[in-house]
Amino acid sequence: MARLGFVILTTLLAASTWAADLKLKVADSPPPKDLDASIQKLLQAKSIQLLDGDKPAFEFWLVSNLPLQSKPASAAKALDAVKQATLLGAVSVSKSMRDYRDDEIAPGVYTMRLALQPQDGNHLGTADFPYFAALTPVKLDTKPEGITDYKSLVKASSKETSTDHPVIMSLRPVSSESGEFPKIEEPAPEHKSVRVKVPAMAGGEKSSVVFDIVFEGKGHK
């Protein structure tokens, strides 16, 4: 029994520190052909890879131009200018991972769209910020404007899960756009993220949005 306890503890420790060993690389890598061509053409030709050894655990392709509803009031408020369900990019997951709820992210290619956490009693205090990327299998999200609201986004993202909950990665706003991007950050205790800067457009005016994509860390219970 003691041996079993040791094995379980060792496994849990390995799982909790595995993501901490991921290394960042920017690669000339076209978007996956699994994506519909209409979505592929909106994404950057370079990918952001989080490497487990020499293989990507996560590989992100962000949009080349993120449409904004208005010019952000500040860097910290930039995500407020993005309409819910807007396409943020795509991500390839090479093996089973865990999302911000500690639910499984199955291996595969997903679109990433902005999801705002409902402001209701069921979600109170579960996250520091209400911004998330909802991950949807590419076969269920085939057109840039195919998903346009929270209800349809949740339905698509949760369709192939065992929890009936969307697959989510936490997004965190940042206070400044200065520095070089992308880069790995520790935005909160027991959290790791990749900080990205995405070109954007607000009413014909060029802009940009900087935010963290959390790849390690869990929401509050």
Separation of alpha carbons 210 and 173, rounded Å: 7
% of the chain at pLDDT higher than 90: 82
Position 127 in a domain: yes
The distance from CA 44 to its chain's CA centroid, rounded to whole angstroms, is 16
Position 152 in a domain: yes
Stretch among 41-50, 87-96, 114-123, 179-188 having the lowest mean pLDDT: 114-123
Give the total number of structural domains in the chain: 1
Separation of alpha carbons 111 and 127, rounded Å: 22
Position 187 in a domain: yes
| pLDDT at site 119 | 64
Residue carrying structure tokens 């199955």: 106
Q: Is the pLDDT of residue 7 over 70?
A: no
Position 108 in a domain: yes
**pLDDT level of residue 2 (50, 70, 90 thresholds):** very low
User: Would you state the torsion angle of the CA atoms of residues 137, 138, 142, 145, taken in this order, to the nearest 10 degrees?
Assistant: 60
Position 221 in a domain: no
**What are 49-87's pLDDT values in tens digits?**
999 999 999 999 999 999 999 999 899 999 999 999 999
Assigned token pair, 153: 């986004």
Please enumerate in sequence order all residues whose Cβ is within 8 A of that of 207, keeping only pairs 6 or more positions apart, or say none: 68, 71, 72, 199, 200, 201
Q: What H or E segment, with its residue span, contains residue 26?
A: strand 23-28
Verdict on whether the full-model pTM lies above 0.85: yes
**What are 92-146's pLDDT values in tens digits?**
999 999 999 999 999 999 999 999 998 655 545 567 999 999 999 999 999 999 9
Q: Is the pLDDT of residue 15 over 80?
A: no
Separation of alpha carbons 49 and 63, rounded Å: 15
Position 168 in a domain: yes
Pick from 70, 168, 64, 58: which is nearest to 113 by CA?
A: 168
Separation of alpha carbons 136 and 153, rounded Å: 8
Count of positions (residues) in the chain: 221
Domain of residue 57 covers 2-216
Separation of alpha carbons 107 and 110, rounded Å: 9
